[in-house]
Amino acid sequence: MIRSADNDKLKTIRKLHDRRWREKLDLFVAEGEDLVDAAWEPEFLLVAGEDVKPRLLDDVSTVGSGTRAIGVYRRRWSEPGGELSVYLHGVHDPGNVGTIIRSAHALCDGPVVLGPDCADPYSPKAVRASMGSVFARPPARAAAADLSRRLVGLDVRAELTLAEIDPQPPLTLCLGAEREGLPDGFAADRARIPLREGGPESLNVAMAATLALYEVANRMAAHA
């Protein structure tokens, strides 16, 4: 039973709140019993009251009091693939990245592909937002140019709607940062989600990704 905050495992957990340490050690943390149950084999697992004093576990948790378990895991990455997948460029918010990983797991067969400048999918917040889907289907890392498959970029200024594009697989839906969108010259067909006049110009990026996956997956199934 760990009784001192000076313990090496607790120190490792605290370090892994920081992206640089996650990259250096190739490890990350999952907090809470639901995530720990969804996870792969841990490097180590601390259960409150069994392995460690509950107060000490709370102290290294990003969710605070009442944390029952924290596991430390090696990172894994998928290869890009599948009939339908999502590519993210510059999506900075870890909650959005985690939520998109969850939605993709629910709606398409390919992993989420992370391009440049995205939030770390293995940050505590992203892992939590994924609700365990990051374990079921780890994200991939790639540049769009290396995907060698048809890319359709979500773009509020596009002429075609998502319902009007050819849903022939394999296809990757590409989304950019909320304000900036995809960079100019990003090589992809473009399509938009039709929104009501007088409403907001765009949806939250996680909403847009989920909705686009749903629409295209349905059309792929209808054309199959």
User: Which residues lie near a second copy (CB under 8 A)?
Assistant: 95, 99, 102-103, 105-109, 129, 131-133, 136, 193, 195-196, 199-200, 202-204, 206-207, 210-211, 214-215
Q: How far is it, in rounded angstroms, from Cα 68 to Cα 66?
A: 6
The residue among 31 and 215 lying less far from a second copy, judged by its C-beta, is 215
Q: Which is nearer to a second copy, 3 or 196 (CB)?
A: 196
Q: What is the closest distance, in whole angstroms, from the C-beta atom of residue 66 to a second copy in the complex?
A: 16
CB 128 to a second copy: min, Å:
11
d(CA 210, CA 55): 38
Structural contact between residues 154 and 115, judged by C-beta atoms closer than 8 angstroms: no
Min dist CB 41 to a second copy, Å, is: 20
What is the residue whose two structure tokens read 């629910």?
106
CB of 52 to a second copy, least distance (A): 26
**Residue closest to 173 by CA, chosen among 195, 184, 133, 186:** 186
Q: Which is nearer to a second copy, 13 or 181 (CB)?
A: 181
Which residue's CB is nearer to a second copy, number 123 or number 210?
Answer: 210
Of 98 and 115, which CB lies nearer to a second copy in the complex structure?
98
Edge to edge, the sheet with strand 171-175 lists: 140-141, 112-114, 84-88, 171-175, 150-154, 189-191
**Shortest gap between Cβ of 34 and a second copy (angstroms)?**
10
Nearest-angstrom CA–CA distance, 166 and 158:
15
Spatial contact of 29 and 70, defined as CB atoms under 8 Å apart: yes
**Could you give the CA distance from residue 134 to residue 122 in angstroms, rounded to a whole number?**
8
